[in-house]
Amino acid sequence: MPSVSGFLPVLFLSLLGLGSAAAQKSSPAKQPAAYSVAGKKAQVYTTARGTSQRLAPGPALAFAPAEQPLETQVCIFIDPGKTFQTLLGIGGALTDASAETFARLPKARQQEFLKAYFSPTDGIGYSLGRTHIASCDFSSASYTYVAENDKALQSFSVQHDEQYRIPFIKQAIAAAGGELTLYASPWTPPGWMKTNGELLHGGELLPQYRQAWAEHYVKFIKAYEQRGIPIWGLSVQNEAMANQKWESCLYTAEQERDFIKGFLGPTLAKSGLGGKKVIAWDHNRDQMYQRASTILDDPEAAKYVWGIGYHWYETWTGSPMLFANERRVQEAYPTTNLIFTEGCQEKFDFAKIDDWSLGEKYGYSMVNDFNAGTVGWTDWNILLDETGGPNHVGNFCFAPVIGDTRTGKLLYTNAYYYIGHFSKFIRPGAKRIISSSTRDWLQTTAFRNPDGSVAVVVLNTSDTEQPFQLRLQGQAVSTTSAPHSIATYVIN
């Protein structure tokens, strides 16, 4: 497990000269209509179990003409001529827990952390962020922005966030080059607005407070923007079907639909915030089609909805990740965006921060989510401490980077590198293209970046080394996928 003190991991030093789209900011320029692999090479970057390779650059492989492959030859076929969704961004959640852990680190480690996540050249180039409206489980304590029974919201204030979270987010934006696509999600309305009278344990929004609650989103957005933090969008409610021991609030699909069309959407529009992107559902893949269809089949609700957000925790039932449900939504509502809004490995154990399965879970989800049409992918806490917190209800979890406040060091789990194989090399504005594998143990996705370069991700979760050919337009390179590895091939 690499622990870093005083300098960035060696891998970043080796990437300083990277001149491809992998190391550049996104560009609004249109991609060229035609693509030719002639004269191009594939630069490979690898992270592999049982080795020191972490986003490690390998040789540049030259394409050469290739005949029809045999069925016995393992291949991954790339077709840049077939394009699909456009990438919004990849990133993580900037929570109270992350901000408080960050504040407890030495200044040098803080700067290392910001560069490691947000620099597209020296880090993994995060371009997307999520934060929460008032408290969530990953806060040190529960809190609200308004006084008890203040129906007019005259007492509204985000002063609580000014100690840790707002300065943290502003530093992240600066580290990302001044732009970070950020959206916000509420875990609960104030308790007095709910049927159970408290912030925790579910409950529902009382009908008489729907307008006040809609105005609460507006006040949050304007308060953050007044402090120099642009809010790109918002989700209606985090995990709207989960009655949790922490901050939570329940909406049926019909209740969420009616709140969007009758209150939230019109209130945003009347407040001059009609351009903010509204994300519905924001819960697991299992019920996402039912939620999406209930809302999107109503034109008055659908006109306010930019996308359907989802999490990966449906596995609590014993089910595998239900990627097919993403495809059902994309097939039925092709003009509505899909966005992964949260995922993490639960039940933190410091002894397991080196566990290879942490990263493989991310790689497996990201490949399949992007292939299902997802435009944005947001990890949960971007940073947690050596306890997997702070968390005021003991719901301790893993983060890709652990800030050990006992030693002042940053500990990079392999999940950080697995995410980096996507976020560093696939930039905002990239379009997904065809990447087709002839073996199910080699999973793959591919994108064409705004500068025309192609990034192909190959995931091997098997115990076996696998030679294969990367082929496009009648040309190929021969390469090998290490067991339990992830590799990105940048064709430029």
Please identify every residue annotated as catalytic: 239, 342
Q: What's 68-110 look like in SS3?
A: CCCCCCCEEEEEEEEEEEECCEEEEECCHHHHHHHHCCCHHHH
Tokens of 272: 């001059």
Which letter does DSSP use for residue 32 in this model?
P
Long-range contacts at 11-19 (CB < 8 A, ≥ 24 apart): 11/54, 11/55, 11/56, 12/115, 12/116, 12/122, 12/123, 14/56, 14/57, 15/55, 15/57, 15/121, 15/122, 16/121, 16/122, 18/57, 18/121
Q: Which of 421, 418, 411, 387 is nearest to 2 (CA)?
A: 411
Going from the C-alpha of 387 to that of each of 106, 399, 404, the distances in angstroms are 18, 11, 9
Q: In angstroms, rounded to a whole number, what is the distance separating the alpha carbons of residues 27 and 449?
A: 9
Q: In angstroms, rounded to a whole number, what is the distance separating the alpha carbons of residues 380 and 268?
A: 26
Tokens of 3: 């622990």
Q: In angstroms, rounded to a whole number, what is the distance separating the alpha carbons of residues 331 and 175?
A: 37
Q: In angstroms, rounded to a whole number, what is the distance separating the alpha carbons of residues 302 and 313?
A: 26
Going from the C-alpha of 98 to that of each of 105, 138, 382, 430, 466, the distances in angstroms are 11, 8, 6, 29, 38
Token look-up 């308004």 returns 146
